[in-house]
Every structure is written in C-alpha cells, then in structure tokens.
Amino acid sequence: MSPAEEAVRRENIKSAWQLSAPALLVLTVAAVGPLLIVLVYSFLTPGTHGNVEWVFSLEGWRGVLFDHDIFEDKLVLADGNLTIFWRSVKLSFITTVLTFIVGFPTAWFIATRSPASRAGWLFLITIPFWTNLLIRTFAINQIIRNEGVLNTLLLKAGLVSAPLQLTYTDTALLIGMVYVYLPLMVLPLFATIDRFDMRLLEAGYDLYASRWQVLRRVILPIIRPGIVAGSILVFVPCLGAYVTPRILGGGKNMMIGNFIELQFGQGKNWPLGAALSVTLLVIVTIALLVYVKAISGERKNG
C-alpha cells in the first residue's frame, strides 16, 4: 500500500470514529453506566429496609451460590438458587429447540411461496408484536387454564375425563414462551432460507440422496447462520423472562428474572439482586460469544 493510500485509509478511519462518537457516547452513558452501577451495588452491604450501605462486602456474591445454615454457622450450597438457575437455563434451551422445530417448517413454507403472497405471510408472523406482551401472556393463560378453551374442547371431544392441570407448571411456561418468542426464530430462518439456492436440492436428489440426507447435509449446514441467530434471539430473552413466568408460573415456578425482582422488592437485598443480574449478564455474554464463534467459523470456511 502506497503512502497516499495509507493516508486516505487513516483519514477514513478517523472520519468513521468521529461520525460514530455521538452513538458511542449515548451507548456508554445509557448502557454501560447503569451496568457499572449494578456491578458496584453487588459489592456493597444490604440496607436494613432496602437500598445499600456503602460498605464493601462480598455477601451479595456469596449469596448467589451459598447460604447460611440456620442451625450451624457455616455456608451451604443455596439449593433454591441453583434450582432456579437450572430451571431457567433448561426451559430457555427447550424453548429454543421447540421454536426451531416449529419455526423451521414455517420459515421454509413462507420462503417457498410466491413473492406476492410472501409479504402477507410475513405480515401474519409480525402481528403478535402489535400486542403488549402482558396481554399475549394473559391470552395464553385463558387458553390453557382449567376452564379454558383447550380443556373445554378436550372434555367435549371425550379425550380427557378431567381438565388437564397446565397452569402454574413448567409446561405452561414452555407453551407461553414458545408462543411469545416463535417469531424471533422464524424471521432469521426466513431471511436465510430466502437466499437458499434451490438448485442444490435438485443436485442432492440427482446424486441419490434421501430427503433426510438432503436436509442434514445440504439444507441445515447452509442455513446454519439463521439457526444460530434465531437461537440466540430466543435463548437470551428467555433467560431474563419475567412477565411470562410470573403469570403462567404463578410465583411457584420462578426463573432468574423473577428471582432478581424478588431481591429488589420483598427480599430487600439489593446487593444479591445486583450480583444475580451480573451473573445473568455473564451467561448471556457466553451465549453471544458462542454465536460470534459460530459465525466466524462460517466466514472462515467461506
């Protein structure tokens, strides 16, 4: 590269930084600032009636995984906290898998329609976003409750002799979260499938590949970026979900989001709530790093 070209490149980089400076400043103040406050609170002492006392303490971080034994003055594993973490990760992972199982055929169907009707199908996918999340969750609750639409139809059809107890269970949480986050899986998958070269399917069949082999060795590897992006878009908000577990779980089946709210509310233990928030942020960051690694691998392989 000649000195003139190097000077032009440096000038372009300088201009880019200057143009992005206002956005970076807003992100720093509006995003990084609150996160730093939460991080500082996690190392302080809980106040008597909430808030914090400005005395350094690791009690908040200790409470994430450990608890004080009420009979002996020693630390024991906080089984309740670990159960909540495990339930949150488990339900988020299962929700991601279920949304993919439902979303992949849906996205494929939309992507293979004619251009005239494709916009209409995408419009139907985005309609749920027009309604508040709280209203959508209440709607699901009305469908699956004991006297709801689902149990009424099953009873009239004679398929069950008593209403299915779905509310306030992990099954209810899965149904609600799959319904809420399904569009976040369908849209990235559609964007990837829409660019898929259908001639590759014909090539696979010409080489005597079965439908399963075409799906596993042709379709899925090519649409992998859409799968990874959709999985991240579903898994990350599921981990921090609050409204859906609060309504469909009834306060019994708590997730990390509900547990954090409890510490800042009735628990009056702000350092523990802050430490749990940072822990959730670390889990989300790990998920994003997996996404970045997967995308980098795709680009490296061409």
Per-residue pLDDT 10s for the chain (302 aa) are 677 788 888 888 888 888 888 888 888 888 888 889 999 999 999 888 878 889 999 988 998 888 877 777 777 888 888 889 899 989 999 999 999 999 999 999 999 988 888 888 989 988 888 888 889 999 999 999 888 889 899 999 888 888 888 888 889 999 999 999 999 999 999 999 998 888 898 899 888 888 899 998 999 988 988 998 899 899 989 988 998 998 888 777 788 988 999 999 888 899 999 999 999 888 888 877 877 776 665 555 54
Q: What is the maximal distance between C-alpha atoms in the chain?
A: 83
Of residues 259, 237, 249, 254, the one with CA closest to residue 180: 237
Separation between Cα atoms, residue 111 and residue 219, nearest integer Å: 13
Give yes or no for a contact between 233 and 196, defined as CB atoms under 8 angstroms apart. Answer: no
Separation between Cα atoms, residue 151 and residue 251, nearest integer Å: 23
**Could you say which DSSP state residue 210 is in?**
-
Give yes or no for a contact between 118 and 111, defined as CB atoms under 8 angstroms apart. Answer: yes
CB crowding 168-182: b at 16 or more within 10 Å, else e:
bbeebbbbbbbbbbb
**Could you say which DSSP state residue 58 is in?**
S
- Beta bridge pairs of residue 66: 77
Q: Cα 12 to chain center, whole Å? A: 37
Separation between Cα atoms, residue 182 and residue 235, nearest integer Å: 11
**Could you say which DSSP state residue 22 is in?**
H
The CB density around residue 241, as the number of other CB atoms within 10 Å, is 25
Give yes or no for a contact between 218 and 227, defined as CB atoms under 8 angstroms apart. Answer: no
Separation between Cα atoms, residue 125 and residue 215, nearest integer Å: 24
CATH architecture of 65-300: Orthogonal Bundle (1.10)
pTM (2 decimals)? 0.84
Separation between Cα atoms, residue 212 and residue 197, nearest integer Å: 18
**Could you say which DSSP state residue 55 is in?**
E
